[in-house]
Chain A
């Protein structure tokens, strides 16, 4: 079966960092930092199935876009893979039950989000049977299916980007006819320290990932696929190369287009824009998306989920999660049903040990701290990190910025972090945007190297939130103003029409009852009196208009109130 010698797979790739790697030229992005990778803590053992929790909490929003709407009721028995929340709108994703059981609550629960707020969850008391629902038929010969059908399957399976941003994948796979896709970039970089779930997934599901890639190549009509993996994951690189070689030997459609590229370990190589730059030399335009330069980027986990959805009909209800950090007894990787509480997984890993400094969802550079273990794991949750004070020492009170510029040296977006910091601190939102705040990917390199220990990323997040709030306010007041102007214009028009009608009526009456004055008393009474055959149509029209005007006037009043409230 393995027709390609393992040795040649490994040595086919030069160790040279920037020029060639298996014949592929690599590019460099500005900045970045070398971090102790800490991956050996958790990647020594194969992943295991996490023990089935007694209860799963499945948030209805685990993606960017509109939350799903619950399609089950409290007391319903649900089966594994059954749809429990339906997507609302184009940018949205459905959610499915990750195991069988009974819905015990549909209510806001704490969810893993930096805000620490609650969001609606479907809570399922599991029955331990893990009984599958009837799944949609597999599309085994996906080359015969059209892109539309495959995208519909991806959407129906609730697949979102599993690298962290959790953007609905079917939307990414539909760049539109005006943006032809040349290259599919698969992100296996996993550049954050500690996290090894993609590493393990690639080692254990390389063939599935390759299937998923082939499906996405077919959907996109892309000419090639570059899989970028950092060189600190030799086993994953080997497994992926083998899987590609096997598929190519078998003559699987699309397999010949895939190239697995070893890239130098440098944080944040796994940032979407950075990885695209490394592999293709192209830069995603500022404020733009990769499709504009003919690239779509997907995570290896997403590729695996696509294969599961298309070839097996399985929705996205499970993912690889790393439980690691020196404050956990037995760091390792798990296959975890979505909605499993953090506490259960930590328990499975032997519980916490020693002194815990903080619990983080995600990696040490971009993850966010959580204050309770009673949070469900979502489609985007790749890691639970239990850090000791030694691993994550309290940086202490920030000192004044000494403008040393180390932050600018390491910024992978070539920004000037300290200038952004000064302006963010001064709440000068225009200035901070002039310094390209929104090109910041919040990778944390700047804060990591800052000698004054200033929480720079926190300032940028604050500034972004402020800008968004201001824009929302501006939009709202703009909207109110437009409505007000429209109302004024309408009232004026109605008044004009009323007067015109009055005038016409007068003209119509005048020749008939010449002696009668047509001034103050002109009104409904006059209209009735003047109900002669020529005026009948006009009377009907007038009635329609006045009733309409009354209705909309009421609405305007409400609108004006609302505008006042926002102003």
Chain B
């Protein structure tokens, strides 16, 4: 007979943390495949690097803290953090920046607060923001999507696997190419720059850069992450509350301003299919540790992130805003939870 665990229930547990995390990894596959298809192998190299760094860092910190290492490594939470981090940084990021970002995420944001379950901020987003503020150029040097007409129109080149690897590990570009030839502004960046130059939306959209909603290529990546997100909802790893309210908040703000002035505010769908909106809504804002836990709280939390994303994209200093919005709401989550407690069975109301 087993000993030490005496209290009911005696049933077999139906969930496991590692299964939860592995399902998140699985759900990232379609979106990752789309990213690789459009932006090359740098994405995968970054993911592998980040994972190795994250797991090693976590193991070392746990050793230093005198905590059991294996159970923490086996929950795959460091892997999820690493993958999400790698999916948000440009595929050209030098390896040592990935290392820096991951060290910040795992060592400072996660482990110094006590490890999984105790960190107030989303580690992946904190690591990303840390790099974005410290190395803005490296963090905004995105590759152009692999759409032939687009590449021809702008006279851009793409990188092979070896090119990507060389760039990441040595920082050197393939012979004969300059940075200008391999990088391009992201649609959000482009939209923002052109609007700042006084162009109107119809003028901006003349450019071959644009697809039906967002930037060409880019808009498809969102769709594939959406599939992964729906998988997570189906598997009940996450609930619909945060993604739905995130989209509602973002679309409501975008629609309101678009209706007011369609000349200077892009169509709401642009916001949805640009930048990290979909990845953020399903995979980042839903991080259980740092999000709200009450149902009503989650709706407020998601909607506030969505609205903040629009606000920062439109009037803030950075082209995308998912990371900032998530971090801001992370710190508000405990307060939101406190004021949105559900009505307890048999109680009339709960303050």
A178 at the interface (CB under 8 A from B): no
Most buried by B among A367, A404, A412: A404
Q: Which of A219-227, A278-286, A548-556 is near enough to bind chain B?
A: A278-286
Within the complex, what minimum Cβ distance (angstroms) separates B298 from chain A?
8
Interface size class of A (residues with CB under 8 A): 35 or more
Contact of B5 with A273 in the complex, beta carbons under 8 Å = no
Contact of A286 with B344 in the complex, beta carbons under 8 Å = yes
Within 8 A of B (CB), among A97-136: 114
Within the complex, what minimum Cβ distance (angstroms) separates B21 from chain A?
9
Q: What chain B residues lie within 8 Å of A30 (beta carbons)? A: 342, 345
Within the complex, what minimum Cβ distance (angstroms) separates B276 from chain A?
22
Contact of A413 with B15 in the complex, beta carbons under 8 Å = no
Contact of A413 with B344 in the complex, beta carbons under 8 Å = yes
Q: What chain B residues lie within 8 Å of A204 (beta carbons)? A: none
Contact of A364 with B5 in the complex, beta carbons under 8 Å = no
Contact of B345 with A412 in the complex, beta carbons under 8 Å = yes
Contact of A414 with B9 in the complex, beta carbons under 8 Å = no
Most buried by B among A367, A371, A400: A400
How many of B's residues come within 8 Å of A, CB to CB?
Answer: 39
A326 at the interface (CB under 8 A from B): no
Q: What chain A residues lie within 8 Å of B239 (beta carbons)? A: 409
Within the complex, what minimum Cβ distance (angstroms) separates A390 from chain B?
8
A366 at the interface (CB under 8 A from B): yes
Q: In the bound complex, what is the Cα–Cα distance between A334 and B343 (angstroms)?
A: 42
B206 at the interface (CB under 8 A from A): no
B14 at the interface (CB under 8 A from A): yes
A367-B8, A394-B5 in contact; A414/B345 too (CB < 8 A)?
Answer: yes
Contact of B10 with A283 in the complex, beta carbons under 8 Å = no
Residue of A nearest to B9 (CB): A444
Could you give, for residues 149-166 of chain A, a 1 whenever the CB lies within 8 Å of some chain B CB and a 0 otherwise?
A: 000000000000000000
B12 at the interface (CB under 8 A from A): yes
Contact of A395 with B5 in the complex, beta carbons under 8 Å = yes
Contact of A400 with B9 in the complex, beta carbons under 8 Å = no
A394-B2, A403-B117, A405-B293 in contact; A413/B345 too (CB < 8 A)?
Answer: yes
Within the complex, what minimum Cβ distance (angstroms) separates A47 from chain B?
24
Contact of A439 with B288 in the complex, beta carbons under 8 Å = no
Q: Which of A447-455, A484-492, A515-523 is near enough to bind chain B?
A: A447-455
Within the complex, what minimum Cβ distance (angstroms) separates A344 from chain B?
20
Q: What chain A residues lie within 8 Å of B341 (beta carbons)? A: 416, 435
Q: What chain A residues lie within 8 Å of B5 (beta carbons)? A: 394-395, 455
Most buried by A among B239, B343, B344: B344
B260 at the interface (CB under 8 A from A): no
Q: Which of A14-22, A307-315, A355-363 is near enough to bind chain B?
A: A355-363
Q: In the bound complex, what is the Cα–Cα distance between A566 and B277 (angstroms)?
A: 62
Residue of A nearest to B290 (CB): A403
- A369 is contacted by which of B10, B291, B343 (Cβ under 8 Å)? B10
Within the complex, what minimum Cβ distance (angstroms) separates B108 from chain A?
18
A416-B294, A461-B7 in contact; A285/B13 too (CB < 8 A)?
Answer: no
Most buried by A among B13, B20, B337, B346: B346
21 contacts between A and B (CB under 8 A): A30-B345, A283-B345, A286-B344, A287-B346, A358-B1, A366-B9, A367-B8, A369-B6, A392-B12, A399-B71, A400-B116, A402-B117, A403-B291, A403-B293, A408-B293, A413-B346, A418-B293, A439-B345, A448-B14, A449-B14, A452-B17
Extra pairs beyond A284-B346, A435-B341 (6, CB < 8 Å): A286-B347, A360-B8, A399-B116, A403-B117, A439-B347, A451-B15
Which residue numbers of A lie inside 8 Å of B, CB to CB? 29-30, 35, 114, 193, 273, 277, 283-288, 356-360, 362, 364-369, 371, 385, 387, 389, 391-395, 397, 399-406, 408-409, 412-416, 418-419, 435-436, 439, 442, 444, 447-453, 455, 457-458, 461
Which residue numbers of B lie inside 8 Å of A, CB to CB? 1-2, 5-17, 19-20, 71, 75, 77, 115-118, 239, 288-289, 291, 293-295, 337, 341-347
